[in-house]
């Protein structure tokens, strides 16, 4: 579409937002965009409709069809309501839970959603204030609801907001419910299709009662109460990075028995402007900088951080030189799995029907730990809904121990069906106390795991390709890797090729075709070499990037060999980048 044609289409679409179906504030914003000589904002706001994807909505806030506002949120909720009413037509009263995070407009969007659901005859449990995402999942299951939503944009910049939709098992939707809900949302063409006239009699405010039940159930997953009692006063610095974790993480730590929680006062302030950080992302060292400084000042032993919606956890520990380092998502997941399986075995709970879940791009050391200890391993796609899907299929058949992904998400309990940084913080603190009983720091425990199961290093590389030409380039890169797979990577022969877009694999050694057992296709390629190097390649679903996940292994016979293994692994990863042409 030529620029003049696009601008004409955009202007006509924007004028459709000047009717009485839209409020005065929205009409004024649209009129201002129409009157501006610079049309960039207008085009961005209206050149497409904000897509309700398989996880819901996410976008910049403001007026327009491509922005997060009461009308795009209302349309999503109307479509979701229509689908719930269709799927549960025989139910006397359909019920949903609504939660929200700290972001600007999150409360407003939550209340608008409550109005739309209730206007459609759906009972709404609306949290009284911000709450972590995992508590929404918990409440859906606890209150016997058929669905739920949380207004959040996770760790995106402050300009963003979002909308996550959940099904009756407390998990984000997968097929067929995701696509069928999307179809219903896409039928909503204008504000006049949305029923905003809420029924206040169908909206019930919930809060502290659910908090207390959730915290009490979290206490049940503690595996080392005696160790916590012995080290209850260990100093733990915690930051919610201005988000929802402030409501429950300190309470969860106290419920586990920890008595010396040190707050980062500046970041306890709930704010959608995230005033102390550029990005409220616990993967970013800068987001934990204030917490690490507080740890240095107070002589703390562990730093914990959660993202704005309280589902992902970041951690910092002291290395063997006393310097603070951040654990990456693979290392945190590794520690979780090692601890949980070790303690389950010590407590006599491993009886042959237990399992853990990891994503296909998460460290393979998790598999080594599980299989050596008689625990089944499931590999799933990136996205916690796939871990929840395994849990749903195994319910009342097998025993879930834990599941996680490299992007800082972990779930230690089976009564929630999304990643949970509240329980993850409590368990990480417990791991630290348990390690102290053995004369180990958290860093020392990580090194012990490497000695027992081998050293691995994981590195992610994102190559940004912006715009239409960038999208075409990413598509061409995937096509080239698919049609011309590497014979070797960093000097090691490729032994296995997995193409998840076709659910086909190939053994280079046996010249044998393989079938991949996955619930659906995904545009991911994976290469495994003879020396156990794993390289995964996939386009990002939300950003103009192609992502490379590199994992290399080194054997070590003692902790003193780990520095050399680390150096060799880093060099190997640089070789991998050169092999794939991504330096």
Task: Please give the pLDDT value at position 193.
Answer: 96
Cα separation of 327 and 195, whole Å?
Answer: 47
Q: What is the tens place of the pLDDT at every residue in 148-186?
A: 999 999 988 999 999 999 999 999 999 999 999 999 999
Place domain 221-452 in its CATH homologous superfamily. Alpha-D-Glucose-1,6-Bisphosphate, subunit A, domain 3 (3.40.120.10)
The CATH number assigned to the domain with range 455-580 reads 3.30.310
Alpha-carbon torsion, ordered 258, 264, 265, 266, to 10 deg: -160
Bridging pattern class, strands 354-359 and 399-405: parallel
CA distance 40 to 43: 5
CATH of 48-206, one of 3.20.20.140, 3.30.930.10, 3.40.120.10, 3.20.20.190: 3.40.120.10
**Rounded average pLDDT over 422-441:** 98
Residues 9-22: pLDDT tens digits? 999 999 999 999 99
Q: Do domains 48-206 and 221-452 have the same CATH topology?
A: yes
Angle made by CA atoms 430, 141, 270, in degrees to the nearest 5: 60
- Pairing mode, strands 534-539 and 525-529: antiparallel
Q: What is the pTM of this model?
A: 0.95
The confidence score (pLDDT) of residue 1 equals 45
Identify whether the C-beta of residue 195 lies closer than 8 Å to the C-beta of residue 393.
no
Are the beta carbons of 316 and 303 closer than 8 angstroms? yes
Average pLDDT over residues 214-241: 98
Q: What percent of the chain has pLDDT over 70?
A: 99
Phi, psi of 491 (to 5 degrees): 85, 0
Tokens representing 479 are: 């096509």
Please report, for the chain, the start and end positions of each structural domain, with discontinuous segments joined by +.
1-38, 48-206, 221-452, 455-580
What's the CA angle centered on 119, arms 213 and 64, to 5 degrees? 100
Radius of gyration of the chain (CA): 24
16-74 per-position pLDDT tens digit: 999 999 999 999 999 999 999 999 999 999 999 998 887 789 999 999 999 999 999 99
Annotated catalytic residues are 154
Instruction: Tell me the pLDDT tens digit for each residue of 180-197.
Output: 999 999 999 999 999 999
Separation between Cα atoms, residue 524 and residue 502, nearest integer Å: 9
DSSP per-residue letters across 107-146: HHHHHHHHHHHHHTT-EEEEESS---HHHHHHHHHHTT-S
- DSSP codes joined into one string, 325-362: EE--HHHHHHHHHHHHHHHHHHTT---S-EEEEEETTS
Report pLDDT for 2: 55
Closest Cα to residue 195, out of 99, 97, 74?
74
Do 464 and 545 contact (CB within 8 A), yes or no? yes
**Per-residue confidence band for 304, with pLDDT thresholds at 50, 70 and 90:** very high
Mean pLDDT of the chain: 96
Q: How far apart, in whole angstroms, are the C-alpha atoms of residue 478 and residue 539?
A: 8
* Cα–Cα dist 306/131, whole Å: 13
Buried b / exposed e across 212-228, counting CB within 10 Å, b at 16+?
eebbeebeebbbbeebb
**Over 441-452, what HEC string results?**
CHHHHHHHHHHH
- Helix ranges (H only) for 347-441 are 365-372, 384-394, 421-437
């Amino acid at each position: 579409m030529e620029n003049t044609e696009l601008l004409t289409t955009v202007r006509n679409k924007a004028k459709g937002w000047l009717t009485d179906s839209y409020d005065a504030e929205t009409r004024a914003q649209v009129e201002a965009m129409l009157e501006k000589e610079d049309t960039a904002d207008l085009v961005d706001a209206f050149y497409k409709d904000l897509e309700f994807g398989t996880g819901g909505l996410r976008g910049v806030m403001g007026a327009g069809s491509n922005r997060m506002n009461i009308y795009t949120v209302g349309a999503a909720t109307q479509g979701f309501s229509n689908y719930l009413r269709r799927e549960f037509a025989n139910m006397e009263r359909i019920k949903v839970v609504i939660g929200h995070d700290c972001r600007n407009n999150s409360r407003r969007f939550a209340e608008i959603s409550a109005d739309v659901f209730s206007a459609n005859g759906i009972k709404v449990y609306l949290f009284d204030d911000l709450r972590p995402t995992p508590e929404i999942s918990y409440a859906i299951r606890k209150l016997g609801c058929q669905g739920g939503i949380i207004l959040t944009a996770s760790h995106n910049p402050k300009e963003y907001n979002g909308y996550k939709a959940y099904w009756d098992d407390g998990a984000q939707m997968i097929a067929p419910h995701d696509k069928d809900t999307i179809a219903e949302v896409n039928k909503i063409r204008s504000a006049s299709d949305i029923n905003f006239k809420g029924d206040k009699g169908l909206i019930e405010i919930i809060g502290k009662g659910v908090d207390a039940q959730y915290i009490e159930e979290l206490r049940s997953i503690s595996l080392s109460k005696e160790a916590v009692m012995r080290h209850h006063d260990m100093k733990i610095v915690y930051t919610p990075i201005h988000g929802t974790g402030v409501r429950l993480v300190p309470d969860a730590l106290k419920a586990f028995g920890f008595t010396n929680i040190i707050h980062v006062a500046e970041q306890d302030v709930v704010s959608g402007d995230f005033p102390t950080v550029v990005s409220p992302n616990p993967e970013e060292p800068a987001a934990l900088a204030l917490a690490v400084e507080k740890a240095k000042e107070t002589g703390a032993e562990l730093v914990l951080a959660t993202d704005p919606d309280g589902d992902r956890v970041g951690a910092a520990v002291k290395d063997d030189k006393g310097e603070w380092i951040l654990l990456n998502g693979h290392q945190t997941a590794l520690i979780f799995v090692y601890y949980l399986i070790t303690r389950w075995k010590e407590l006599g709970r491993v009886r042959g029907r237990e399992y853990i879940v990891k994503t296909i791009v998460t460290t393979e050391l998790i598999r080594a730990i599980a299989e050596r200890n008689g625990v089944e391993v499931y590999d799933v796609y990136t996205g916690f809904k796939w871990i929840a899907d395994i849990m749903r299929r195994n319910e009342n058949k097998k025993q879930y121990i834990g599941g996680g992904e490299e992007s800082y998400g972990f779930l230690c309990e089976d009564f929630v069906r999304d990643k949970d940084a509240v329980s993850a913080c409590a368990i990480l603190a417990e791991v630290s106390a348990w390690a102290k009983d053995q004369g180990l720091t958290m860093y020392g425990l990580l090194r012990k795991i490497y000695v027992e199961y081998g050293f691995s290093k994981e590195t992610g590389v994102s190559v940004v390709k912006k715009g239409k030409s960038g999208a075409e380039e990413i598509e061409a890169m995937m096509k080239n890797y698919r049609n011309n797979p590497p014979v070797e990577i960093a000097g090691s022969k490729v032994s296995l090729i997995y193409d998840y877009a076709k659910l086909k694999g190939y053994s280079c050694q046996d010249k044998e075709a393989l079938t991949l057992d996955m619930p659906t296709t995904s545009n991911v390629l994976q290469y495994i070499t003879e020396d156990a190097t794993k390289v995964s390649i996939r386009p990002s679903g939300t950003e103009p990037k192609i992502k490379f996940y590199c994992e290399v292994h080194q054997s070590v016979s003692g902790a003193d060999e780990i520095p050399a293994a680390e150096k060799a692994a880093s060099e190997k990863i640089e070789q991998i980048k050169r092999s794939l042409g991504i330096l």
